[in-house]
Structures are given as structure tokens and as C-alpha cells.
Amino acid sequence: MTVEPEQISHQIVVDRLWKVFGNNPSSALEAENAGKSRAEIQSEFDQVVALRDVSFHVEKGETFVVMGLSGSGKSTLVRCLSRLIETTSGHIYVDLEDVTSLDDKSLREFRRSKVSMVFQNFGLLPHRNVMDNACYGLEIKGLSRTERYERAQRMLDLVGLNGWETSKVSQLSGGMQQRVGLARALAVEPEILLLDEPFSGLDPLIRRQMRSELAVLQKEIQKTMVFITHDLDEAVTVGDRIAIMRDGEIIQMGTPEEIILNPVDDFVAEFTEDVSKDRVLNASSISVTPDLIWSYSHDLNSLKNKMDEVKAGHIAFVNESGASLGVLTGSDVEHIASMEELDRMLGESTDTMMYSSNVKPAISKLANSSTPIPVVDSDNNLLGVITQASILNALSE
């Protein structure tokens, strides 16, 4: 299902955003216009250009991941979105409202209702227990105690902290502390969730677990998210789109697949080198046209003749309307004597894959069997097949 351009609701629009740290940003901007490099500006004027001309938009319900090396300006960017850091120039629109020009009161209101943030080092209040931490945003909003507790309890249940309400946060493990951070952010029911490397402080096993839990959670809550990470694996798991930053600039932006398959330059390529491609490849991107597509209604002999004629290694069977019935190898078909036997063989081989699903399961299946896997759309129409060769080709690219 495609979305019409006018239906796209850009929840966040960032327009030519600049951020210069230092006491004289205009000198840095002038030097920037004169073509000086970031390092030159830093040494000559003692100004750090942390964001240079950053523009992007995030749609409602989308998870937008910002990636980049340390010091590339990711944290600065995400803090500018809720004005924890004042921008130097440029605009940020959230639901068409210019965040950069809000006065103090509207800014507080904006932070209380529209956005909440999850921090790398959790930022929990050590003098409060889990429940009162999760309540913080609601308390600031001025909700009554019972209402606060009720809403925070729901979020604590959601992140799996039921039973820990009265524990001190310092007694929890890192992973659990970040769950509290997540519950606190979700409790205010914000439209936008900003996450600055939320899982970087956790050890790898917990990190992976939290990451997939967040992906599941996101399906349920459907928040607009801006997710900062320096881990491409993480970016690919949670991100609908990824922006890659270097020295304060966005150098590439696109779906995980686009970025991994078509890096704009060596930097991005190097960045994405480590991620295994099977993470981003979907079934349709590696499917190929079957050697032979055969309408099931025809008789067996003409199938065998046609098969010999085109030297087909495999045959994809479809019904009159083009729906997939299964795929068999040429040698399977050679040995079939009757239509009943064909029915039985097709019945055994009916595993299909949706065009949008991840290729990982296909890899393990094809490792054990040479029978190609049919790829179908949501109406079960045959789009192509995945063969051993097509997987190897895609992975070796």
C-alpha cells in the first residue's frame, strides 16, 4: 500500500540546522562560508561546529535512526530537537510548530506533552524508587497521585518491571534501569520519543535483548522515534530510515537496505562493512525469475517436454490466477508419474516467503535443500523464487 505524498504527515521537520559551540558562533559561520574546515575553525576561533546544515524529516510512527562516530554531533542533534541545547540557526518544526521560537512557557508545555527522552546514562533520580522515577514526567505535568501511579504502573508492566515498583533504582541492573528510563519516557504518553544511545551502556547480551524488545514494543505503541546509536546492527533492527552523520553533517540518509547496498562513499561503506547483509536483505531483493512457471492445469507430459526444452532446474507452479502452489526441482518432476504424486509433492513443498520478510530463514532452509523457495505478495501471487545461487550472489556483492 503506497501513501500519497499529501497524506504524509511529517511529524518532525528539521530545516538547515546549525549548531556552533562557543562564544562567537557568527565568526564560525562566516569562516564556514569562507570554506574553512571544521578543524581550522576549531583551532583558529575556538568554536566547535557540531551541526552543519542538517535537514531531514521524520514521519508519524517512523523510527528514524541517526548514526555516526563519536563526536559526529548525534547527541547535539537530538538535544536540539527538544531544545536542551539552543540551536545557532535553522528551524525545527514539530507538528508544524517551530520549536526554535517557543517561549519558556510553551517550551515547557512542549516538553511535557510532545516529546520525552531516554538517555544513555539513564538520568534516573537516585533518591526515588522505581515507581516515583517512572512518575516523574506525570508529576511535573501536575497529575494527581493516584492517576500518576496508575499510568506509571501500566508502563512499568509494559517494560517488564512489575513487582519492582518500590525498589531503589541503584539496586537495579543497568538493563532494568534503562527500562525504568523507558517507562518514565512512555508514561507521559508523548508523541515523539528521543533516544540517545539508550542501550550503549549495557552489556552486549542485554543490549540485543532490549533492542528486540523495543522493536516489539514499537509495533504496539507506534511512536515517532528518533534513535541515536553508533551500532549499525542496532540501527538496522529498529530503524525504518537511517541517517549517517560525519563531522556534524548528514552524509547519507535512507532505508537500511539502501545504505548497506548503496553506500555513497568509502566512509559509509566502511561503516556498514561489519553488518551482515542478511540483516537487511528482504526476500524480494534477492528473488529471481523462476526457470519455468507452469500453470497447474496443464498435463504432466507437456510439462516434462517443456522442461527438457528450456533445461529448467526448477519449476514454479501457479494456479489460473497466478497464486503460487509450490516449487519443485527438475529432478523431482522427472520422477513423478501421476498427477496425484505431483499434488503430494507440491503439498509437501508449500513453504512460501512474503516479499518483505527477512532472508535469514531462507538461508537456513536452502542450506539443507536445493529446492528454491517461492516469494509471494500478500495475496499469495508468485513474484519470484529464491535459489541457493541467488542468495550467494546477493551476499557476495
Ligand X SMILES: Nc1ncnc2c1ncn2[C@@H]1O[C@H](COP(=O)(O)OP(=O)(O)OP(=O)(O)O)[C@@H](O)[C@H]1O
Q: How far is the CB of 135 from other proteins (least distance, A)?
A: 11
Using rule CB under 6 A, residue 252 touches ligand X: no
Between helices 204-221 and 174-187, what is the axis angle to 10°? Answer: 20
Using rule CB under 8 A, residue 365 touches other proteins: no
Cell numbers 517561549 correspond to 103
> At residue 156, what is the residue type?
L
The vertex-343 CA angle with 339 and 348, nearest 5°, equals 150
Helix/strand/coil for 103: coil
Q: How far is the CB of 230 from ligand X (least distance, A)?
A: 5
Q: How far is the CB of 107 from other proteins (least distance, A)?
A: 8
Q: Between 35 and 142, whose beta carbon lies closer to other proteins?
A: 142
The option from ligand X, Mg ion, other proteins, none interacting with 117 (CB < 5 to 8 A, set by class) reads other proteins
The option from other proteins, ligand X, Mg ion, none interacting with 71 (CB < 5 to 8 A, set by class) reads ligand X
The option from other proteins, Mg ion, ligand X, none interacting with 55 (CB < 5 to 8 A, set by class) reads none
Q: In this chain, which residue has its C-beta nearest to ligand X?
A: 75
The option from Mg ion, ligand X, other proteins, none interacting with 125 (CB < 5 to 8 A, set by class) reads other proteins
Using rule CB under 6 A, residue 75 touches ligand X: yes
Using rule CB under 8 A, residue 39 touches other proteins: no
The vertex-154 CA angle with 153 and 155, nearest 5°, equals 90
Q: Which of 72, 82, 272, 352 forms a contact with other proteins (CB under 8 A)?
A: 82
Task: List binders of other proteins among 173-212 (CB under 8 A).
Answer: 184, 188
Q: How far is the CB of 76 from Mg ion (least distance, A)?
A: 8
128's CB contacts (< 8 A; 6+ apart) are 136, 169
Q: Which of 10, 61, 71, 388 forms a contact with ligand X (CB under 6 A)?
A: 71
Q: In this structure, what C-alpha cell is assigned to residue 319?
A: 494456479
Q: Which residues of 188-224 are buried (b: 16+ CB within 10 A; e: fewer)?
A: bebbbbbbbbbbebbeeebbbebbeebeebbeeeebb
CB of 190 closer than 8 Å to CB of 116: yes
Count of CB atoms situated within 10 Å of the CB of 39:
10
Bridge partners (DSSP) listed for residue 59: 10
Between CA 115 and CA 7 the distance in angstroms is: 23
Between CA 237 and CA 228 the distance in angstroms is: 13
Q: Of 68-76, 157-165, 210-218, 330-338, which segment contacts ligand X by CB under 6 A?
A: 68-76
CB of 127 closer than 8 Å to CB of 91: no
Q: Of 6-14, 73-81, 364-372, 382-390, which segment contacts ligand X by CB under 6 A?
A: 73-81
Q: Which of 12, 17, 31, 50 forms a contact with ligand X (CB under 6 A)?
A: 50
Q: Between 94 and 250, whose beta carbon lies closer to other proteins?
A: 94
Q: Which of 11, 63, 76, 324 forms a contact with ligand X (CB under 6 A)?
A: 76
Q: How far is the CB of 360 from other proteins (least distance, A)?
A: 37
Q: How far is the CB of 48 from Mg ion (least distance, A)?
A: 14
CB of 392 closer than 8 Å to CB of 381: no
Between CA 171 and CA 133 the distance in angstroms is: 14
Task: List binders of Mg ion among 33-92 (CB under 5 A).
Answer: 75
Between CA 286 and CA 293 the distance in angstroms is: 18
Classify residue 300 by burial, with Cβ atoms within 10 Å: 0-12, 13-18, 19+. middle
Cell numbers 513487582 correspond to 163
Report DSSP state, residue 134.
Answer: H
Q: In this structure, what C-alpha cell is assigned to residue 190?
A: 508523548
Q: How far is the CB of 236 from ligand X (least distance, A)?
A: 18
Task: List binders of other proteins among 111-170 (CB under 8 A).
Answer: 111-113, 115-117, 119, 121, 123-127, 136-137, 139-141
Q: Rule CB under 5 A: which residues touch Mg ion?
A: 75
Q: Rule CB under 6 A: which residues touch ligand X?
A: 21, 48, 50, 68, 70-76, 230
Q: Rule CB under 8 A: which residues touch other proteins?
A: 82, 84, 107-113, 115-117, 119, 121, 123-127, 136-137, 139-141, 184, 188
